[in-house]
Amino acid sequence: MGAERRLRGMLMKALALVGLHPWLTCRQCVESVTELLEDELSPRARGRVLAHLERCPDCPRYLHQIEVTIALARAINPGPVSPDARAALLDAFRDRHRSPDEET
């Protein structure tokens, strides 16, 4: 039964890749996660992503990891940055992104 399920999964993914099946591949789902979380998907696209998340054993784990990462990033409070530290960071950024023509 496992081989049959794998074969069916491969067929569904192949059909989705060429646009002949309404289900998303894992790659398509992962590429839509940010838009899903930011509520920027059309109702049809949102339904397709949610349907994939219901069937897939792996993509919900990825979605959860992204949600945790976002929550942790929001929880970080680095405090105020001193003017000297801010200036040093901006200088370092400018130096790193300066084109070779600009260097003297």
- Tell whether 90 is covered by a domain: yes
- Residue 71 forms part of a structural domain: yes
CA–CA gap between residue 27 and residue 64 (Å, rounded): 16
Q: Which residue has the higher pLDDT, 7 or 17?
A: 7
102 inside domain = no
In a domain, 101, yes or no: no
What's the whole-model pTM score? Answer: 0.56
- Within-domain flag for 104: no
Q: Which two tokens stand for residue 42?
A: 């059309």
Quick check: is 38 in a domain?
Answer: yes
CA distance 57 to 27: 13
Number of domains in the chain: 1
Q: Supply the range of the domain harboring residue 67.
A: 2-96
Amino acid present at 36: L
Tens of pLDDT, residues 72-93:
988 988 788 899 999 998 999 8
84 within some domain: yes
Q: What does the alpha-carbon distance between residue 22 and residue 24 come to, in Å, rounded to a whole number?
A: 7
103 falls within a domain: no
